[in-house]
Amino acid sequence: MAERPPSDIARDTLKQLAVRRLPPTPENYQALYDEIAGGHTPVPFPEGPLRHILRVIPGQTPAQKRLLGQFEAAVAQRDWSALQNVLVGYAKLGLHTTDTTATTESTSTTAGAVVLPDELAEQIARMVEYTMPALDSDDARVHLLGTQLVQFLRQPSPPASTLQMLLSNFSYRLSFATEDQSAIRGMLLELLHMVFENIAALSTDDRWLHGQAEALMAATSRPLSLRHLDDVRRRLKDVIFKQTEAKGRLVEAQEQMKEMLTAFITRLSSMTQASGTYQERMERCATQIGKATTLNEITPVLQEVMGATRAMALDSSMAHGELTDLRERTEEKQAEMVRLQQELDRVSAQARHDPLTGSLNRKGLDEVLEREIARARRTETPLCVALLDVDNFKQVNDRMGHEAGDAALVHLANVVRDVMRPQDMLARYGGEEFILVLPDTPLDVGVQAMQRLQRELTKRFFLQGNEKLLITFSAGLAQVATDENSTDTIRRADQGMYLAKRNGKNRVVAV
């Protein structure tokens, strides 16, 4: 029997769909087509989805790389049988990694098998456990692999070959999880920065809020760390508390001012009305006097004039007293509003940062030193404090003016922020003196860091107009001792700075 052309089979299939009153779905069409054709239509090979799977399956170990190559060849040849063998091979690898007990037993029976020391296995297990809380809880696969790895490592004498495979699978999934976490942190930082930018844009008339928003924007522009986040939290908390309190008093004073102005306007209105009534009475009395022909007709009119005048005088006297009182209260409230606005302006400067250089002020320095000294003693790590004093600063002020002196201090602070580490914190101690807090830094390393900063300053001249000026500093450096407080450390650093000045300036002396 000659094979029927596909067009005839398709036409009969459509007829049967109508005759049997079947919905024209792809499944019904396929079933009738196969029935009429007397065979089965082969299922299309899903090359696209399989190649997508090919891009994400692991290929780290030699066994995985071999199976990955076989997988790619099977997809290219559209070979279902070869593909099935590859999937079975991956399944055996999975059974091999999850059935850790059987693996351990089989490995232990193999002569010369390499096993991990228990102490090293426990350290790796703790490292994996410490990593897990930082990962996205929605990624169940990486948590499962991490749990399996920890369980395997805490078995007696875990074989190194199995550990290599488990670590490879875990690190492969961990790479995706860390990329997601990095993207999330970056997005959150960007959103936070946008919020502060919006606050600054909406607060052009409030100088105190505008200044704090700019400071918060600067704090969130650098890489995230616990120190920086703690700094932002402390600053924002302080700003919210102080400025909310001051702003509330300012709003209250403004409301009282509005009430007094309302009373003032009301009183003026009543005075105008009373004056109009008095004018009308005077005009009526004048008309009656003009018509009078006898003294008896004039007498009652004069009495009315005298009574109205007496009432007008009394009302004017009362109004004058009220208006005088309102004026005094208005002046008091105006002075209070000016004082509150000045207090709001001071809040920004009194938070934790120096308004000129952007470095910490004395209050911010005290908090940082308290926190870092506690951390250094808890973690048993060294902490150094350096006191810097700009050399010949008085000459700069005298020759170029105080504005140039301020610009020179800003220049120094900017160079310090560019050269030093993100965890190193700069504070303006007073005038031309600065303090640098250097966490996790022993004394010799601190001296090298300060000398590196001095060399960098010689490369970056301070420009004032067309004149280049070399800014240098003398510094004393002290490492916080176990039994001393921040005041004692700063006093020792100050002694070192004094010795640096005496020995020729532009030097670092460790004490």
Residue 428: what pLDDT? Answer: 92
Confidence class of residue 507 from pLDDT cuts 50, 70 and 90?
very high
Fold matches, 203-351 and 362-510: no
Residue 173: what pLDDT? Answer: 74
Domain limits of the chain?
Answer: 6-32, 48-179, 203-351, 362-510
Which one-letter amino acid corresponds to residue 401? Answer: G
Better pLDDT: 121 or 293: 121
102-116, 240-254, 326-340: which is most confident: 326-340
Work out the average pLDDT over 435-450. Answer: 94
Say what percent of the chain tops pLDDT 90: 17
Round to whole Å and give the CA distance between 210 and 265: 35
Residue 337: what pLDDT? Answer: 67
- For every residue of 397-452, which 3-state class applies, written as one string? HHHHCHHHHHHHHHHHHHHHHHHCCCCCEEEEEECCEEEEEEECCCHHHHHHHHHH
**Count of positions (residues) in the chain:** 511
Better pLDDT: 381 or 275: 381
Residue 295: what pLDDT? Answer: 59
Round to whole Å and give the CA distance between 468 and 26: 82
Over residues 300-312, the pLDDT tens digits come to 766 666 666 666 6
Confidence class of residue 108 from pLDDT cuts 50, 70 and 90?
very low
CATH architecture of 203-351: Orthogonal Bundle (1.10)
CA 104 to chain centre: 48
Round to whole Å and give the CA distance between 162 and 165: 5
Residue 165 buriedness (CB in 10 A; 0-12 / 13-18 / 19+): buried
Work out the average pLDDT over 67-91. Answer: 79
pLDDT at 102 over 50: no
Confidence class of residue 140 from pLDDT cuts 50, 70 and 90?
confident
Annotation: CATH topology of 362-510: Alpha-Beta Plaits (3.30.70)
Residue 219: what pLDDT? Answer: 60
Round to whole Å and give the CA distance between 353 and 427: 8
Residue 301: what pLDDT? Answer: 64
pLDDT at 45 over 60: yes
pLDDT at 195 over 90: no
The helix/strand/coil state of 44 is coil
pLDDT at 204 over 80: no
Confidence class of residue 499 from pLDDT cuts 50, 70 and 90?
very high
pTM of the model: 0.43
How many angstroms separate the Cα of 357 from the Cα of each of 101, 134, 320, 331, 471? 63, 36, 53, 37, 15
Over residues 212-227, the pLDDT tens digits come to 666 666 666 655 555 5
Residue 1: what pLDDT? Answer: 46
- 109-116: long-range pairs with CB below 8 Å, 24+: 113/159, 113/161, 114/159, 114/160, 114/161, 115/157, 115/158, 115/159, 115/160, 116/153, 116/157, 116/158, 116/159, 116/160, 116/163
Residue 49: what pLDDT? Answer: 76
Given the structure tokens 């002569």, which residue do they identify? 111
Work out the average pLDDT over 469-494. Answer: 92
Round to whole Å and give the CA distance between 42 and 493: 85
Over residues 405-427, the pLDDT tens digits come to 899 999 999 999 999 988 899 99
